Amino acid sequence: MSHRGQRDSISTGVLILIGANVLFLLATTIHPDPTFSLGLKPASVSERPWTAVTSLFIHDGIWHILTNMLTLYFFGGYLSSLIGEVSLFIIYFGGGIAGSLLFILLAPSSSIGIGASGAVFALGGALTVMRPQLRVIAFPIPVPLPLWVAVIGGFVIMSLLPNIAWQAHLGGLAFGLVAGYVLSQRRRRSS
């Protein structure tokens, strides 16, 4: 996915998030036990509540992390230029935790949730509200689409795939939409 008008430099916050995700991938590649001890399992979340956050940094292989980090790069870079890095972190972690909570409530108790998708959907949701006319190119579609079509379409398509934590995606997206609305209202009042 790409968009027109993005700043040439990427924010430090986005680089920190990408770096943390890559480090966790390397750690779980060397020793796979962290995938199970840091992943989110609804059945054992009361004994290990930290997994609502640590699961955001655990990925199942290169394609899983690559899609999340590319989306984080584009959404996060643009959003950071609009709202700053502190707000970016709040939306990323708030959306990720909201996704974890919805996963805990709606997923089968024996399942395990991993990945940054809920947090990334939060960034996409916030950006969709804040820049509704933004047009993006979403691979493999070679024409610019409204961002909301790419974000909602991505959510729907991914929700239909097997072994996808659609609950986390929905929680993150909902959090991001609300956060984007709140930030937009604040910006209108301050202008």
The residue annotated as part of the active site, out of 169, 184, 190, 191, is 169
Does residue 59 carry a catalytic annotation?
Answer: no
User: Could you tell me the two tokens for 154?
Assistant: 């991505």
Task: Determine the pLDDT at residue 180.
Answer: 97
Whether 133 contacts 110, CB under 8 Å: no
Instruction: For residues 159 and 167, give the distance between their C-alpha atoms in angstroms, rounded to a whole number.
Output: 9
The H-assigned helical ranges of the chain are 12-30, 33-38, 51-54, 62-71, 77-83, 85-106, 117-130, 147-160, 166-190
pTM of model > 0.85: yes
Mean per-residue pLDDT of the chain: 91
Helices and strands per DSSP (H, E), number in the chain? 9, 3
* 118-170 pLDDT tens trace: 999 999 999 999 998 899 988 788 899 999 999 999 999 988 889 899 999 99
109 burial type by CB count under 10 A (0-12 exposed, 13-18 middle, 19+ buried)? exposed
Domains and CATH numbers, the chain: 8-190 (1.20.1540.10)
- Extract the tokens encoding 27: 């750690």
Query: According to the model, what pLDDT value does residue 22 have?
Result: 96
81: how many CB neighbours lie within 10 A of its CB?
A: 16
Residue ranges of the chain with per-residue pLDDT less than 70: 1-9
User: Of these residues, 55, 87, 117, 190, which one is catalytic?
Assistant: 117
